[in-house]
């Protein structure tokens, strides 16, 4: 099995060094993290925060883009995507990556409405409390102040994204009962006006791109009216790292300049400023420019 980046090495007395700021992201498949949060992850990792990624499945049912890799499917594709995830995390500087419940514990459920959803091994069929307990163990170990995941619709309705949301939110509750309260929970978002402006630029640039046509604003996960946005993370300085991480997921993503496409070959904007909705607290300022805004991270116990 492909080796993932490991948690930070133990310090004196066997206790891992603990960064003052600790961010946990919960995602459904390899590649979701780079598309949604790549610039954010690179920014905080570069600033010395502990960034921990929990990925719920290996994405065994993803559609493969490069012809030379289309022989991959099932477990073979999952193994390959695990290697892509490790490569992407090296590009982002993220050293702590976990598979929920251990590698291969939960299988990709496929797109909503397919027979794959009924696989007893799939994340969609998982008991939410059982899966949340596995995530709670990570939370109690890492003790993040901030958690990022999807909205209740999973951003765009994929069963694994919906389930990742349910598991993450349940784990927040379980961890609080066990003694660690995550101070801020965010959902991934894109403001509608930003998406509309980016697609207007895309339509102008499309003839020079290697994609057949443009996707639509409605194809972008998490698009909401602008007033829902509480937090804007400027990842411009980490644009190259985000693009490199997305390229590392070569079975799933083709990147060209400021744009990318998935297996449908429909071009989308590659956002290097990333947007969030704070869902369990009132932001100190609006919009925030820091996921840790308003937190006293000097206390690390």
pLDDT digits (tens, 9 = 90+) for 71-107: 999 999 999 999 999 999 999 999 999 999 999 999 9
Q: Computed from CA positions of residues 189, 192, 195, 199, in that sequence, does the dihedral angle turn out positive or negative?
A: positive
pLDDT at 12 over 50: no
pLDDT, average across residues 144-155: 97
What pLDDT, on the 0 to 100 scale, is given for residue 298?
Answer: 63
Q: Which of 146-150, 243-247, 258-262, 294-298 has the lowest mean pLDDT?
A: 294-298
pLDDT tens-digit readout, 130-143: 999 999 999 999 99
Q: Which domains does the chain have, with CATH numbers?
A: 22-191+224-252 (3.40.50.10320)
Q: What's the per-residue H, E or C state across 172-241?
A: HHHHHHHCCCCCEEEEEEEEHHHHHHHHHHHHHHHHHCCCCEECCHHHCCCEECHHHCCEEEECHHHHHH
Could you tell me the pLDDT band of residue 284, with boundaries at 50, 70 and 90? confident
What pLDDT, on the 0 to 100 scale, is given for residue 8?
Answer: 44
pLDDT tens-digit readout, 19-65: 899 999 999 999 999 999 999 999 999 999 999 999 999 999 999 99
Residues of each annotated binding site:
29, 32, 161
Q: Which of 150-154, 214-218, 277-281 has the lowest mean pLDDT?
A: 277-281
Residues of each annotated binding site for Zn(2+):
29, 32, 161
What pLDDT, on the 0 to 100 scale, is given for residue 2?
Answer: 62
Q: Above pLDDT 90, what percent of the chain?
A: 89
Could you tell me the pLDDT band of residue 285, with boundaries at 50, 70 and 90? confident
pLDDT tens-digit readout, 156-168: 999 999 999 999 9
What pLDDT, on the 0 to 100 scale, is given for residue 142?
Answer: 98
Selection from 136, 116, 11 nearest residue 59 by Cα: 116
Q: Residue 129 and residue 136: Cα distance in Å, rounded? A: 10
What pLDDT, on the 0 to 100 scale, is given for residue 281?
Answer: 84
Q: For all residues of the chain together, what is the average pLDDT? A: 93
pLDDT, average across residues 210-224: 97
Angle at 100 between CA 97 and CA 102, to 5 degrees: 85
């Amino acid at each position: 099995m492909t080796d993932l980046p490991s948690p930070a090495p133990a310090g004196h007395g066997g206790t891992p060094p603990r960064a003052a700021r600790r961010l946990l992201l919960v995602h459904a498949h390899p590649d979701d993290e780079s598309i949604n949060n790549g610039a954010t992850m690179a920014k905080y990792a570069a600033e010395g925060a502990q960034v921990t990624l929990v990925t719920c499945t290996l994405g065994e049912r993803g559609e493969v883009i490069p012809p030379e890799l289309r022989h991959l499917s099932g477990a073979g594709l999952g193994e390959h995507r695990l290697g892509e995830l490790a490569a992407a995390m090296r590009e982002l500087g993220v050293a702590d990556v976990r598979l929920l419940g251990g590698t291969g514990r939960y299988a990709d459920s496929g797109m909503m409405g397919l027979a794959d959803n009924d696989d007893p091994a799939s994340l969609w069929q998982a008991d939410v409390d059982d899966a949340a307990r596995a995530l709670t163990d990570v939370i109690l170990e890492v003790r993040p102040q901030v958690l990022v995941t999807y909205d209740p619709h999973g951003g765009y309705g994929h069963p694994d994204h919906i389930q990742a949301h349910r598991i993450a939110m349940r784990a927040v509750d379980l961890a609080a009962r066990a003694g660690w309260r995550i101070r801020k929970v965010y959902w991934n978002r894109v403001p509608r006006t930003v998406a509309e402006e980016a697609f207007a630029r895309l339509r102008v640039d499309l003839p020079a791109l290697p994609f057949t046509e443009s996707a639509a604003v409605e194809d972008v996960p998490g698009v909401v009216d602008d007033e829902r946005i509480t937090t804007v993370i400027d990842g411009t300085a980490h644009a190259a790292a985000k693009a490199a991480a997305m390229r590392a997921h070569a079975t799933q993503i083709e990147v060209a300049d400021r744009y990318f496409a998935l297996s449908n070959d429909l071009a989308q904007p590659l956002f290097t400023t990333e947007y969030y909705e704070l869902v369990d607290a009132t932001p100190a300022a609006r919009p925030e420019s820091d996921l840790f805004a308003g937190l006293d991270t000097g206390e690390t116990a």
